[in-house]
Amino acid sequence: GAECDLPWAVTFTDPRGLAPLNLPPHPTQLYSALGNLGIFLVLYLGFRKRWGGTGRVFGLYLVLYPAFRFVVEFFRNDPRGALGPLSTSQALGIPLFLFGVWLLWVRRGEQP
């Protein structure tokens, strides 16, 4: 990730790794792991049991994950390709997010 001075920044010291050496970047791997855990908890514990229906859990996943990943991409600092000002992941996430919103809209009146 991009360099940061927060207490949870991780410093990589292995010269065989791809991360910049001895610079404390944002731990985007940890952000992703925690974000995915949070998305799982929302989908499994809350949404699935209370409001789930055909396609609605998947639709909510398609809304939550791309939105989360879009934000995390700003903290990354690696050359993985870009489409204009957006990273590839951000550009791919936009249509997935929109499809998720559409799916939730189409399935809005269904009962679990």
pLDDT at residue 101, as a whole number: 95
Q: How far is CA 6 from each of CA 19, 25, 69, rounded to the nearest angstrom? A: 17, 9, 20
pLDDT per residue rounded down to tens, the chain (112 residues)? 677 888 888 888 888 887 778 888 888 889 999 999 999 998 888 776 666 666 788 999 999 999 999 999 988 876 677 788 888 899 999 999 999 999 989 887 766 5
Q: Residues 104, 88: contact at Cβ < 8 Å? A: no
CA angle 27, 28, 32 (to 5 degrees): 125
Longest dimension (CA), the chain: 55
Tokens 């404390």, located at residue: 24
Bridge partners (DSSP) listed for residue 25 = 3
The pLDDT tens digits for 57-78 are: 899 999 999 999 999 998 887 6
| Whole-model pTM over 0.85 | no
pLDDT at residue 1, as a whole number: 66
Chain centroid, CA 51 distance in Å: 22
Mean of the per-residue pLDDT values of the chain: 85
Total residue length of the chain: 112
Q: Residues 60, 100: contact at Cβ < 8 Å? A: yes
